């Protein structure tokens, strides 16, 4: 097999074989194009669609299809005549006799349709049976890059930033186009190019020129550019002595700044803001609320774009329970945010843990647009060295019913989903081949949050690795068990935030001496000689009361709560008998063991696949799995040894594996 370095992501268009190849060999390239501008003057988007179709069909058919083959029968017709702008991007792809028609109301719909067609063909679907129609469930499907101007990526595990601020605007790396193709293939339509811990100088004119170059390059792919802003920018770079959102001078400064952006980038997406969180400046520095801050920026942007205000806030001053703070600050502001403000909420109330209950803000702010923030890069799940497919994590949260407004997936429909990107300068973009699946899954779910994780895993596997049925099943099985395995060996039964402080890699439940209480792992597990877990019921922090009664009632009782959230909400005696018949201690130890066993099983299955996968990628994954096997044991053994130092209990013998 040909050496593969992963650069092509899921857009490899690996040659079809046998019948599948014969079936597509009659297809012409995109010769028949109907667009708003007519065939002579195809838009850049239509050009991109044709180009992709040409590359895709040529590669899938081993160079034998496409317009190069005379006498071929069918045409792929791109019929997107009536351009209703980038909001009408739904498409249909249908076989019609020997032809395939891709239809939509905007050029972008045709581009999306081309990617959908190529995906179907890659999956081996017979062209004459293709019949799909699709449109995005949510308006905003965004990546948030935590990339810094110096090239360092906060919590990025795939090398340096892909954005070359040094050479922009003159030099545009080809990677910027391939990046746009990858995003467009999923329907991602917004990119925040810089870290939420933002540097004010990134609002200066020299940077705006760089954004313009990027925005121009991405526009054909339907991607709007957004920028994270530092709230104190009027002081930092504007020469004012305040950043008070109610100060007329400050407001005028932001208005002028927004106008400057729109002069350069007419479809500029807007601002993303992290304020009054982890030391970032914000409106509260002036006694103003999040709504005051957001609305001031919203006025500056006007109906040209969106202000996305993050709900990830916590501070040392709040001593009670970090999990409660965002709800406490934001829910009273429901209904006060301007129409073009979206509040962006992490999936859980703490911080991208291997498992958290859903964020109680979902369902609690019916008069505010809430966006779902996911973390694609795996800050707390073993970085790029551990294999953890995240679609099941996101699906788990999207499926929850907060008690008002339907499921979380429905609550966020008016806004969208944002994912903290895992891209970097690594040849394979994501630091490991399997981490590409998390970028892919995020985009697919943002397009359609009802897609089952397993289907996403399967289609990604076929496009990325192999069409061999047994190999596909093995890989999908590995992916589907991978995240739960991480929960098992890192933070079972609802434990959280036990990673070593600062870098968040490896176990450190013993750390308890850091100046801010909520930086310490011991703050989260609250283990002592008698028991373990954070009492968040009424007798404790009462964070449970932030959930609707229907949920709180179920979770209030340690015997009826979903065991996956047990120690998140309850402090339980080590020796307490559980509904399983085991003691808590026995249950906990068996979870750790199970997690390790799962990783061993994943490594065995992968070893079996050496014939189905090209050697370069097979070896790379094998080596990562070896790291994961060793580190799963490190997590298990260090955690158990530490708990034993508190509870003095022997290792349980013959513990049944958990159900
Ligand atoms: O989880 C924390 C990370 C910070 C990050 C912050 C946030 C960008 O450890 O590195 O800062 O979340 O989401 O703002």
Q: Look at residue 86 in the predicted model and tell me its pLDDT.
A: 61
For residue 79, report the distance from its CA to the centre of ligand 1, in Å. 44
What does R_g of the chain's alpha carbons equal in angstroms? Answer: 26
Active-site positions?
Answer: 278, 351, 379
pLDDT attached to residue 320: 83
Task: Give the 3-state secondary structure of residue 272.
Answer: strand
Taking the centre of ligand 1 as the mean of its atom positions, its distance from the CA of residue 38, in whole angstroms, is 47
Ligand 1 atom nearest the C-alpha of 196 is 8
Q: Which of 312, 323, 326, 356 to mutate to test the pocket of ligand 1 (most atoms within 8 A of CB)?
A: 312
Q: What pairing do the DSSP bridges indicate for beta strands 341-346 and 224-229?
A: unpaired
Tokens 């490594």 appear where?
603
Residue ranges and CATH numbers for the domains of the chain are 18-134 (3.30.379.10), 140-452 (3.20.20.80), 488-647 (3.90.1330.10)
Distance in Å, CA 502 to ligand 1 centroid: 11
DSSP 532: E
pLDDT in tens, 66-100: 444 444 578 899 998 776 666 799 999 999 988 99
Which protein residues touch ligand 1 with a CB less than 6 Å away?
146, 154-155, 196-197, 274, 278, 312, 351-352, 379
Q: Over pLDDT 90: what percentage of the chain? A: 88
Helix (H) or strand (E) holding 227: strand 224-229
Please give the pLDDT value at position 69. Answer: 46
User: Using one digit for the tens of pLDDT, what is the confidence trace for 359-418?
Assistant: 999 999 999 999 999 999 999 999 999 999 999 999 999 999 998 889 999 999 999 999
Q: What is the arithmetic mean of pLDDT over 235-244?
A: 98
Q: What is the pLDDT of residues 403-462, one digit of tens each?
A: 888 999 999 999 999 999 999 999 999 999 999 999 999 999 999 999 999 999 999 999
Q: What is the pLDDT of residue 2?
A: 66
Question: Whose C-alpha lies nearest to ligand 1, atom 7?
Answer: 312
Tell me what pLDDT residue 81 has: 78
3-state SS assignment for residue 308:
strand
300 CA distance to ligand 1 middle (Å): 27
Number of the ligand 1 atom closest to the C-alpha atom of 373: 13
Q: Tell me, what's the pLDDT at 59?
A: 93
Q: What is the pLDDT of residue 84?
A: 67
Determine the distance separating the centroid of ligand 1 and the alpha carbon of 361, expressed in angstroms.
19
Give the residue-averaged pLDDT of 501-518.
94
At residue 226, does pLDDT exceed 50?
A: yes
Query: What pLDDT, on a 0 to 100 scale, did the predictor assign at position 68?
Result: 45
Q: Is 526 left (phi over 0), alpha (psi -120 to 50) or beta?
A: left
pLDDT at 66: 46
* CA separation for the pair 438, 9 (Å, rounded): 11
Checking if the pLDDT of 479 tops 80, the result is: yes
Answer for the pair 409, 347: CB distance below 8 angstroms, yes or no: no
Nearest CA owner, ligand 1 atom 13: 312
| Residue matched to tokens 């899938």 | 60
The ipTM estimated for the assembled molecules is 0.99
Six-digit token pair at 606?
């992968």
* Nearest atom, ligand 1, residue 154 CA: 10
Q: What's the 380 CA to ligand 1 centre distance in angstroms? A: 11
CA-197 nearest atom, ligand 1: 8
| pLDDT tens column, 558-595 | 999 999 999 999 999 999 999 999 999 999 999 999 99
Residue count (the chain): 659
Question: Which residue among 144, 147, 154 is best mutated to probe the pocket of ligand 1, counting the most ligand atoms within 8 A of its Cβ?
Answer: 154
Query: So what's the pLDDT on residue 70?
Result: 47
- The preferred substitution site among 197, 228, 278 for testing ligand 1, maximizing ligand atoms within 8 Å of CB, is 278
Mean pLDDT of all residues in the chain? 94
């Amino acid at each position: 097999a040909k050496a593969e370095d992963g650069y092509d992501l899921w857009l490899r268009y690996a040659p079809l074989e046998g019948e599948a190849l014969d079936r597509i060999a009659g297809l012409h390239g995109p010769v028949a194009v109907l667009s708003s501008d007519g065939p002579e003057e195809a838009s850049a988007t239509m050009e991109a669609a044709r180009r992709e179709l040409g590359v895709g069909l040529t590669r899938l058919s081993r160079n034998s299809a496409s317009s190069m083959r005379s006498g071929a029968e069918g045409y792929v017709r791109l019929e997107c005549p009536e351009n209703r702008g980038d909001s009408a991007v739904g498409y249909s792809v249908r076989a019609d006799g020997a032809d395939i028609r891709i239809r939509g109301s905007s050029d972008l719909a045709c581009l999306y349709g081309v990617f959908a067609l190529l995906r179907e063909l890659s999956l081996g679907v017979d062209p004459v049976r293709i019949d799909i129609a699709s449109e995005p469930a949510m308006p905003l499907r965004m990546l948030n890059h935590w990339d810094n101007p110096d090239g360092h990526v906060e919590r990025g595990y795939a090398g340096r930033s892909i954005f070359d601020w040094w050479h922009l605007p003159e030099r545009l790396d080809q990677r910027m186009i391939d990046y746009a193709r990858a995003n467009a293939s999923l329907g991602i339509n917004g990119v925040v190019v810089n870290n939420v811990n933002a540097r004010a100088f990134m609002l200066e004119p020299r940077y705006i020129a760089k954004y313009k170059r990027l925005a121009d390059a991405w526009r054909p792919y339907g991607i709007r550019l957004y920028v994270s802003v530092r709230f104190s920018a009027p002081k930092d770079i504007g020469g004012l002595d305040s950043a008070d959102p109610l100060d007329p001078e400050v407001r005028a400064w932001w208005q002028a700044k927004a106008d400057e952006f729109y002069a350069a980038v007419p479809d500029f997406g807007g601002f993303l803001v992290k304020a009054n969180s982890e030391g970032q400046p914000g409106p509260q520095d002036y006694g103003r609320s999040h709504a005051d801050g957001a609305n001031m920026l919203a006025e500056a942007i006007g109906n040209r774009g969106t202000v996305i205000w993050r709900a990830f806030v916590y501070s040392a001053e709040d001593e009670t329970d970090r999990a409660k703070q965002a709800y406490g600050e934001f829910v009273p502001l429901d209904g006060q945010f301007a129409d073009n403000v979206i509040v962006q909420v992490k999936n859980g109330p703490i911080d991208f843990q291997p498992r958290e209950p859903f964020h109680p803000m979902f369902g609690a702010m019916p008069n505010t647009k809430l966006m779902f923030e996911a973390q694609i890069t795996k800050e707390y799940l073993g970085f790029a060295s551990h294999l953890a497919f995240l679609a099941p994590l996101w699906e788990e949260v999207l499926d929850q019913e907060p008690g008002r407004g339907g499921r979380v997936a429905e609550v966020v429909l008016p806004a969208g989903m944002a994912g903290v990107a895992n891209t970097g300068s690594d040849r394979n973009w994501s630091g490991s081949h399997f981490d590409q699946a998390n970028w892919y899954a995020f985009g697919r779910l943002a397009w359609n949050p009802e897609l089952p994780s397993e289907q996403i895993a399967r289609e990604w596997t076929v496009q990325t690795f192999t069409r061999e049925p047994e190999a596909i099943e093995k890989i999908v099985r590995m992916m589907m068990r991978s995240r739960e395995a991480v929960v098992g060996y890192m933070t079972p039964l609802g434990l959280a935030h036990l990673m070593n402080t600062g870098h968040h890699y490896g176990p450190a439940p013993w750390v308890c001496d850091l100046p801010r209480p909520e930086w310490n792992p011991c703050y989260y597990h609250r283990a002592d000689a008698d028991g373990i877990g954070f009492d968040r019921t009424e007798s404790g922090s009462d964070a449970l009361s932030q959930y609707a009664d229907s949920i709180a009632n179920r979770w209030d009782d340690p015997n009826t709560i979903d065991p996956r959230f047990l120690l998140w909400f309850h402090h339980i005696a080590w020796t307490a008998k559980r509904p399983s018949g085991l003691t808590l201690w026995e249950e906990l130890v068996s979870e750790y063991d199970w997690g390790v066993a799962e990783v061993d099983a994943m490594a065995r299955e992968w070893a079996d696949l050496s014939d189905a996968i090209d050697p370069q990628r097979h070896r790379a994954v094998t080596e990562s799995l070896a790291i994961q096997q060793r580190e799963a044991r490190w997590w298990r053994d260090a955690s158990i040894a530490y708990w034993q130092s508190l509870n003095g209990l022997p290792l349980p013998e013959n513990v049944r594996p958990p159900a």
